[in-house]
Amino acid sequence: MLLTAATALPLSLPAMETKAQEAGTTIGERSEWQVEKCAVFAAALDRILKRMGEEGVTPAFIANNRAYIDSGCLSDVDACPETAKDIEIANGLTIATMNAGAASSFSPFRCRPKG
């Protein structure tokens, strides 16, 4: 009997495996992947700030990144990079999370108008 991809793969995953990969909307409901991405983001922020220091970094940029992490990387936070150093940090965080397999849209870097 010839096996093809269609015959070798199950048509659907068991419910338990599917549930483990579903994105949660609260810290307690996060999937393992959501937890891992957030841990990578948090560790990268700490490493980058330790290496570069906070001089020239907008306090709100750091605070909003920390708020994002504290939310389990679930909140719709605007961590708007305003200075050259903010942008350098945002670039480093984006690269770190993308290297771990996250999409570039995972990071909280937005500069929406206030009001």
Length of the chain: 115
Q: What is the pLDDT of residues 19-54, one digit of tens each?
A: 446 777 888 888 999 999 999 999 999 999 999 999
Q: pTM of the full predicted structure? A: 0.77
Q: Which residue has the tokens 């659907």?
A: 12
What percent of the chain is predicted at pLDDT more than 90?
68
HEC per residue, 10-37? CCCCCHHHHHHHCCCCCHHHCCHHHHHH
State the pLDDT at residue 29: 84
State the pLDDT at residue 14: 42
Both tokens of 90, joined, read 């945002």
* Residue 68: strand, helix, or coil: helix
